Each structure stands twice: as C-alpha cells, then as structure tokens.
Structure 1
Amino acid sequence: MPKKFDPLANSNAKLLRLYALLLSADGELTTNQITDSLNCSKQTVSRLVDSINSELNNCVKINVNGRVKSYYIEHYRSGLYDTLDPEGLTLIQMCSNIADGILTTSDKQKLNQTLEKALAYMPRASKGKELDIFNICKQNKGYIRYDNFDEVINRLKHCILKRHCCKFSYRKTQRSEPKEYIFAPLEFKLLKDVLYVAGYLVEIKGYSCQKAHEESRCFCVHRIVDVQELEATSSRIPYEAGKNQGFYGFMKDKPVKVQVKFDKSVESYITDRIWSDDQHVDFFEEGSFMLTFTVQSVPELISFVLSFGNKAELVSPDNLRNEIQRVIGSMREQYL
C-alpha cells in the first residue's frame, strides 16, 4: 500500500476540510487545487466528493473541460452569493449610521457582528472597503443617549412582536414622580432622533384588553422607568402600524388647512421639503411665497412658524393667527 499523503488526517477530517474549502471558494476549484490544499490524491478527492453528494443531495457539482475536472457547490454559489452583495451591505451600513443615535449599545454590537459575518461570506473578489463608502456623520443640536435603555427597549419590542400588553412607570420630566400606565404597545416611532412607543391605554379583561381611550398615545422611551410584560393580549385592537395620513405634525388632532407666508431668504429650506401631501406653493413678485398645507398638531405648527422669526407669518386661519399673536405678546412681556 502506498504511503499516505497526510498520515495524521483521517477521512472524516479530510471530508470536513474539503466541504469547508468548497464553501469558501470564490468560483470553481480544480482537482489539482484541492489535492494541493488537502495534501491528498486525486482518487481521494473523487471519493470525498462522492461521500458529500451521497449525504447532501448532490450539492457538489462537477465540470469537466478536457482533462481538467473542477468542483463547486451550486446551492451556495447561486444562493447565498446572490443574497449577499456589497451594495446591499453598504446600504445596511448606511442605515446603521443614520440610526446610530437611537440604537442601544447591545443593538449596535449585534448589528456590527451581523455585518461582519455577512461580509465574511462574500466572494473574495467582493471583499474590501465597500462598507466604508457611505460613512455618514450626523450633526446633532441636542441628543438623547439610549445606551442605558436596552432592557426597556427590548421588553417593549417583545410586547409589540407578541401583541402583549404591558405595565410601566413613566416620568413626564426628570423631576416629576413616575406614574403607572397599562399600555398596549403597537409600534415604535421616531421624531428628530427621539424614540417613542405608540399604542393605546387599555383596561385588562382577563387575558384580553380593551381600549381605555379611543385616541392612541405616544410615550418617550427614555422616560419609561420600568416595563412589565402582562399575559393579556392586544391582538384584538385594530391598528395600522406605520400609517401616515400625510399631514404636518407628530401628535394627531383634527386636521386643519393653514397658510403661511415666508420670506424669500428661506425659500430653499421650505420648498425642498414635503410638509403635507396636499401642499402647494404660490410665489409673489417681490420674492416672498405662500405655503398652503394641512396640519394635525396646532402646538407644533405654532413652534414651527415662530422658529422662523420675522421670516414667516401665519396668514390663516384667523383663530390660529390670534393664538400666535397671544404667544408673541406673552414673550414680549417676558423680555421687557
């Protein structure tokens, strides 16, 4: 019997090494490449391939080109490679950068680990610095750190996925005493890098619940002190997650159409953005312009208009114009 190429490697070890070699290969491997890598004979390669195919439904494919025989695993090459591409991973990395401010430390670690694992399975020709292309640097005027809210976010997430109600304590401000709520969380919402949980205040009825109020509620996640999952389900509460009526404002109230006149100096900022789906802009000869749009939150509208100082004027409706006059009068008294 001829001497073994590698007397320390048994057949099972070579089988695993060959399978791993084919899985990680960027394309087909010839018989000579495999024998060099495994330090074995061509006959051993053929026998190992037969063993893999008998157990894994002929996953190893063989190409014969003249006297050259090559091997590859088809389901891996045409399946996993097709679902993992540098462009897709780059977009995931870009979204990760955008959402960096609201991700907890553990979520950031999981996301980075997932991207690293996905990149490891990319063909060799695709590996490199693709994930660094869309590095986004966010500038925040004021931000909230969610590093210490892993447990709160994960418990809320679990309740949302399982459609379970929960009980939590909530502080309206840092100095206020926490108040307890029974809540059916249904989705997370994000506004200006602040994470909210949306749903309904409920009353528990056995293993089910019913809405305590018809209006949905939003709570700031960073003000939630503790979350306790309840056995009661919220599956009977209808809710269209992610639905946006196309009106201006985060908090929902009765929609109202408004007109705001802006100075030409803020034209780019205003006209580049969508403030409501039904908005339209009228331009005047002197350069100013009128934005007509629908709002669903009056406090947010007032803050929006006042943030432009003398560059914006709420023209209609009259009752909201009067409210802004009242706010300006109060500010004037405060500074005089």
Structure 2
Amino acid sequence: MPQKLDDAKATEKILLLYTQLLFSGKKYWLAELAKQFNCSKATMMRLMSTIEVSGVAEIETGIENGRRWYQLKNLPSRPHISLSQEEVEKLSLCRDLLGRLLPEGIEQVISSGIEKISGLMPHSSERASATVIRGANIVWGRIKYTETQQAYLELMLKAVSEHTIFEVAYKEEKHLFDRPNPMQYRFVPMRLTNENGSINIEGWRISDDVIPKKKYAITLALHRIITCKSTTEKFLKCPDLPEHKGAFGLVGFRPFEARVRFSEVYSSYISDRVWSEDQKIIELDGGEIELQFKASSHIGLVNWVLGFGAGAELLEPAYLREQILEEVEEMYGFYAPEED
C-alpha cells in the first residue's frame, strides 16, 4: 500500500486517488482510504465527489456491514499504456529469481503474464530480448508443493482483502512441537512471507466465540497445511499484523538480545549481511567478530548457530548455551569412536 500523503495538496490527492482507482479496479473502504491519504472520512468523501463532478469517471459506492466503499465503474476502454524494455526485463528478472520458490502452477502463471504484458511494449523487436531468462535461484532443499497446496495458497490470497476466516488443520514440525495430532486453527490470512525458501502465511488465530475475537498472530508454513476450508465468516474488525521489527525470526514472538562470536572463516559472510535492523558487529582479535542482534525464535537461533559448527559460539542468552551444549553432547555420541 502507498505511504501516507501527509503534505500533498488537494489537487495532488485527487490525481493520485483517481490513478489508484483507475488502474487497480479494486473496491476500497472509506476508512482505509482516509488513513492512506492522511485525511478525515469527510474529506475523502469530498475528494470522491470532486472526481465524479468533474465528469472524468463515474464512481460506485455502497455500504457493507456498516462500512462505506468506493470503486470506479468499468470504463468502455482501458487507458493506453506501454511498458519499456527495461521494465519488462526487471519483471522477467523477478520471475527468474523468485519463481522457483513458488508452486509450479503459479510460476507458470507468472511466465504467461510476462509474455502477455510484453505485448504492451511499443517496439515489437524488443519483446523477445526483454523476456529472456537472465537469472536463476539456486535453492538447496527446495519444497515441492502439491497442486492441493497451491490451491490453498490461491484461496487464501483471494481472501486476504476480505478477512475471511479459514479452518486449517496444520502439522507442526516435530523439532518444535512433538504433537501426535494436527493442530486445528481458525485462521485469518493477512500476508505472505518467505523464509529460507519456505512460503509462510502470516495471520491471526481467531477464537471459536459466536462473535470471533483475535487471539494472537501465527505463522503457518504452506507445505505443512493438511486441510484448509474457507468459512462464510469474516473478521471485519481485523487489525494489521505487527510489523516485522527486523529481528532474526518470525512475527508474533517477542524479540530478545543475542550475541554470537564467529571465527575469521565466517567473519566476511556474517558482516556482509543484515541479520536484524539494529545489529552491531564488533571486530575481535585474530579476525574474529562478535554479532550483537535481536532474535525472535529460540529454536531458529540454536539451529542457526549449530550450522556454523566450531566456527560460531553463542554468548548470550545463557539459557540457550545450555541447550546447544546438550545438542553437541548428543551429536558427539554419533561420531565418538567406539571403545574397545
């Protein structure tokens, strides 16, 4: 969603509002538009009236569940637009780098869409070169999504703007929760995230009350959803999810301070990347470094540190050092030579 327009003049807001309505074709709630354009609902209603009185377009409006909405009526013909070769090339690059992370069917839809929009380029001679594959995303341990999981994803994507409540059966990962039966969630999907090649759906867990209530934010991995059923219920007073605070981990968990020492072997790898927005990197003797940052997943931090072997030492929090020690002692049993 575009940023708030704090200082825009009325004419600028009208132009931006009309452009948004024209090119999206979507239905917008009055309260959301007022928040986006940083004005009152009354001011937004006047802006809508100004657009309609000008004669450039007809605006539909109505009320659903006590909330007013606006939408531009379909025009007899779409505005004439064209895309440059650079714009299509950048879209193609996004396809090449991100497509393999998505279910195969969605990847094909993206490729088909790019081929179609290349027809909007003014020079036909540039179309073929603009859609040439220029990148690749190398993913070890790529998830192979089923057609059913792709259908679940598309179903939830369509329902995000409507805040539809879903009934989801979910299989937790055993290293996190050793539960014999799938978890049952009433869930409102809000947005998608990608973590290490896994598509995650973030949203609110909803209560079973007659009048549904928000319980807490949860993150569901698409490949671990067993069944997903859309209900006829909608959670209309659904608040936005908490913003990602730039902490190492997933949304919905309280961030905590962490310190990790890395050997010289991994110092460049760690220093070249952002692990949390407020991280600090301290240079130590012998080329070693200390990373100070915020994390929000205990098991995620432990597994991450263990992945560096003897090249990393978790300094804080202390209680996770004990957990790592237990893991290392158990691993030692796998490799220790047998006694005669």
TM-score by length of 1: 0.68
Matched AA of 2:159: C
Q: Secondary structure at the match of 1:209?
A: coil
Q: Once the two structures are aligned, what percentage of the paired residues are identical?
A: 22
- Quick check: 1:186–1:197 contact (8 Å CA) kept in 2? yes
Q: Secondary structure at the match of 1:162?
A: coil
- The match for 1:194 among 195, 198, 207 is 198
Structure 1 residue 247, shift from structure 2 partner: 1.0
- Quick check: 2:217–2:241 contact (8 Å CA) kept in 1? no
- Quick check: 1:168–1:228 contact (8 Å CA) kept in 2? yes
Spell out the pairing of 1:265-276 with structure 2 (5 A cutoff).
265-276=265-276
> Match of 2:223?
222
> Match of 1:129?
129
> Match of 1:31?
none
Q: Secondary structure at the match of 1:254?
A: coil
- Quick check: 1:202–1:210 contact (8 Å CA) kept in 2? yes
1:322 corresponds to 2:325: no
Unaligned ranges ≥5, structure 2: 1-76
Structure 1 residue 163, shift from structure 2 partner: 1.0
Task: Quickly say closer, same or farther: Cα 1:141–1:128, change in 2 above 3 A.
Answer: closer
Task: Quickly say closer, same or farther: Cα 1:98–1:162, change in 2 above 3 A.
Answer: same
> For the residues of structure 2 that align with 1:277 and 1:176, how far apart are their CA atoms?
38
Structure 1 stretch displaced more, 284-293 or 303-312: 284-293
Matched AA of 2:143: I
TM-score by length of 2: 0.67
Per-residue displacement from partner, 1:112-142 (whole Å, max 9, x unpaired)?
Answer: 222122212312254341222x621222211
Structure 1 residue 103, shift from structure 2 partner: 2.7
> For the residues of structure 2 that align with 1:131 and 1:331, how far apart are their CA atoms?
49
1:86 corresponds to 2:85: yes
Spell out the pairing of 1:107-118 with structure 2 (5 A cutoff).
107-118=106-117
Q: Secondary structure at the match of 2:287?
A: coil
**Count of matched residue pairs:** 253
- Quick check: 2:165–2:232 contact (8 Å CA) kept in 1? yes
Q: Secondary structure at the match of 1:248?
A: coil
1:299 corresponds to 2:302: no
1:233 corresponds to 2:234: yes
Higher-Rg member (1/2): 1
Per-residue displacement from partner, 1:90-114 (whole Å, max 9, x unpaired)?
Answer: 1111111222223334323332222
Structure 1 residue 331, shift from structure 2 partner: 2.3
Q: Secondary structure at the match of 1:137?
A: coil
> For the residues of structure 1 that align with 2:254 and 2:127, how far apart are their CA atoms?
53
- Quick check: 1:259–1:293 contact (8 Å CA) kept in 2? yes
Spell out the pairing of 1:50-61 with structure 2 (5 A cutoff).
none
Unaligned ranges ≥5, structure 1: 1-75
- The match for 1:183 among 168, 184, 187 is 187
- Quick check: 2:259–2:290 contact (8 Å CA) kept in 1? yes
> For the residues of structure 2 that align with 1:102 and 1:281, how far apart are their CA atoms?
31
> Match of 1:209?
212
- Quick check: 1:251–1:297 contact (8 Å CA) kept in 2? no
Matched AA of 2:196: K
> For the residues of structure 1 that align with 2:173 and 2:241, how far apart are their CA atoms?
30
Task: Quickly say closer, same or farther: Cα 1:105–1:278, change in 2 above 3 A.
Answer: closer
> Match of 2:152?
152
Structure 1 residue 320, shift from structure 2 partner: 2.5
Task: Quickly say closer, same or farther: Cα 1:108–1:267, change in 2 above 3 A.
Answer: same
Structure 1 residue 195, shift from structure 2 partner: 0.9
> Match of 2:31?
none
